[in-house]
């Protein structure tokens, strides 16, 4: 798609400074941009690379200057750039029409413009909303539900009883609705506890490659509107995650924990069972949250066990000094304590 710089500014509702007739057909970083690309600069440190770029137009923040470029002035240049990118470059098709190799049960209800790729399997009583795309080798279990405009990349697995809202994106290898890890010890043996609940994934959720979300044992596992899960994230049974939360790669959330809205969780965080992460909390990378712990609203924590960042920094400094302090203690002991023998 090709648009003029004026059309881009009008789309964003932003002021244009310079020629409104220059055509733009792509987006790029300043280093790789060509004469048809749009770039952005949201801080003074990006101005030098933006000035040297071949791109004719930049989305730029308040108070910044970029001589020789056409400017689209935005309060949040990065967000504006992302919106323009989605407008200029629509996502590529995952599937087109109904492929003849797809296996679709007679009771399946496909909405208008729904597409199913090669070798996908859709079991009985599945409902697929309008415009949803199901990639090659995907599996949709009995009675599952997909809203409108969903995008399932190749080899996604949806177990029976899973519900996806509208515009949900699932990347390759994601598994939604597998049994939770629940067992009861009886006479020295592990008995499987019922895993009969479901998974509810609400609108505008995106789930990364090879992420897994377990069904609830007797209730639902829920992922709130607009939440984004990175690759290799695991969400256990009966977990509830609120709206617009982001969780980075290799994080695990154990059973029956609750994560609030607008929470940010770094990579490789471990959240034990029955924890509560309140709205707006930030969990630094590799933080460990012990069983039953509550992280309060807006709190920033780090380390294992997780503690407020200021406390973590203070303790970490002393930990780094332990070899030095141990040597000082040895010298003091040598001077003060009587020698044996």
CB 130 within 8 Å of CB 111: yes
CA–centroid distance for 30 within its chain: 26
Using an 8 Å Cβ cutoff, are 168 and 203 in contact? yes
**Peptide bond just before 131 cis, omega within 30 deg:** no
Task: Report whether 245 contacts 222 (CB < 8 A).
Answer: no
Question: How far apart, in Å, are the Cα atoms of 90 and each of 86, 128, 316?
Answer: 6, 21, 47
171 is a catalytic site residue: no
Distance CA 271, CA 291 (A): 8
Give Cα separations from 213 to 157, 197, 251 (angstroms): 11, 12, 12
Phi (first) and psi of residue 278, to 5 degrees: -80, 165
Question: Do β-strands 70-73 and 15-17 pair in parallel, antiparallel, or remain unpaired?
Answer: antiparallel
Distance, in Å, from the CA atom of 282 to the CA atom of 260, rounded to the nearest integer, reads 11
Catalytic residue among 99, 234, 237, 274: 237
Please give the Cα distance from 304 to 297 (Å, whole number): 19
Tokens 């280093």 correspond to 31
Number of CB atoms found within 10 A of residue 68's CB? 7
Take residue 73 and report the two structure tokens written for it: 């002035």
CB 57 within 8 A of CB 70: yes
Sorted by sequence, the CB contacts under 8 Å of residue 317 that are 6+ apart come out as: none
Indicate which residues carry an active-site annotation. 237
């Amino acid at each position: 798609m090709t648009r003029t710089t004026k059309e881009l500014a009008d789309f964003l509702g932003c002021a244009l400074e310079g020629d409104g007739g220059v055509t733009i057909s792509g987006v790029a970083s300043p280093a790789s941009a060509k004469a048809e690309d749009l770039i952005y600069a949201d801080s003074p440190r990006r101005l030098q690379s933006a000035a040297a770029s071949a791109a004719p137009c930049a989305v730029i923040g308040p108070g910044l200057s970029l001589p020789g470029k056409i400017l689209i002035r935005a309060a949040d240049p990065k967000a504006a750039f992302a919106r323009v990118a989605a407008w200029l470059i629509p996502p590529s098709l995952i599937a087109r029409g109904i492929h003849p190799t797809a296996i679709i049960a007679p009771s399946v209800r496909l909405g208008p413009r729904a597409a199913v790729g090669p070798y996908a399997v859709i079991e009985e009583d599945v409902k697929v909303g309008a415009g949803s795309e199901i990639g090659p080798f995907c599996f949709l279990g009995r009675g599952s539900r997909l809203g409108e405009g969903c995008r399932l990349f190749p080899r996604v697995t949806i177990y029976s009883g899973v519900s996806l809202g509208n515009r949900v994106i699932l990347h390759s290898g994601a598994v939604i609705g597998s049994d939770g890890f629940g067992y009861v010890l009886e006479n020295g043996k592990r008995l499987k506890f019922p895993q009969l609940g479901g998974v509810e994934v609400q609108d505008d959720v995106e789930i990364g490659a090879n992420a897994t979300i377990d069904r609830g044992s007797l209730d639902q596992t829920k992922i709130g509107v607009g939440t984004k899960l990175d690759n290799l994230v695991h969400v256990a049974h009966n977990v509830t995650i609120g709206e617009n939360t982001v969780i980075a790669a290799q994080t695990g959330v154990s059973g029956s924990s609750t994560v609030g809205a607008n929470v940010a969780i770094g990579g490789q965080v471990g959240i034990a069972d029955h924890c509560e992460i309140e709205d707006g909390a930030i969990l630094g990378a590799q933080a460990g949250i012990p069983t039953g712990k509550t992280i309060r609203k807006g709190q920033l924590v780090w380390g294992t066990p997780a503690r407020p960042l200021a406390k973590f920094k203070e303790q970490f400094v002393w930990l780094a000094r332990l070899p030095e302090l141990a040597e000082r203690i040895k010298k003091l002991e040598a001077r003060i304590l009587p020698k044996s023998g």
